[in-house]
Amino acid sequence: LAKTTQPISMDSYEGQEVNITCSHNNIATNDYITWYQQFPSQGPRFIIQGYKTKVTNEVASLFIPADRKSSTLSLPRVSLSDTAVYYCLVGHQGDDKIIFGKGTRLHILP
């Protein structure tokens, strides 16, 4: 049973804001939502983590509604270098297993 559901791929253009949504209906009460970014030929890299409402850092923003059953990663003014695969990772009710889904392949066009 998949813990998270994300779009398989997305395309956008340089300078636009990109929003990637992740569904996680069975998120554990005490667990956070974590997003990783992976460039080709590299390991994933942590980009942001949150528990509720909104979190912002120098790279992205993370929006989490009150029911916490989904989250949206927002990348402001993307550039070609944001082309990567983005994964969301959550804890699960009664199960601490670490499961990466297939991620969202984001392709930024000039």
Partner 1 sequence: EAGVAQSPRYKIIEKRQSVAFWCNPISGHATLYWYQQILGQGPKLLIQFQNNGVVDDSQLPKDRFSAERLKGVDSTLKIQPAKLEDSAVYLCASSPRGPRPNNEQFFGPGTRLTVL
Residues at the site binding partner 1, with contacts judged by CB under 8 A: 31-32, 34, 36, 41-46, 49, 85, 87, 89-92, 96-103
Residue 34 CB, shortest distance to partner 1, in Å, is 7
Residue 77 CB, shortest distance to partner 1, in Å, is 25
Residue 60 CB, shortest distance to partner 1, in Å, is 15
Strand partners, 54: 63
HSE, side-chain direction, 13 A CA sphere, residue 51: 4
Residue whose CB is less far from partner 1, 44 or 72: 44
E-strand ranges in the chain read 9-13, 18-23, 33-38, 45-50, 53-56, 61-64, 70-75, 84-90, 104-109
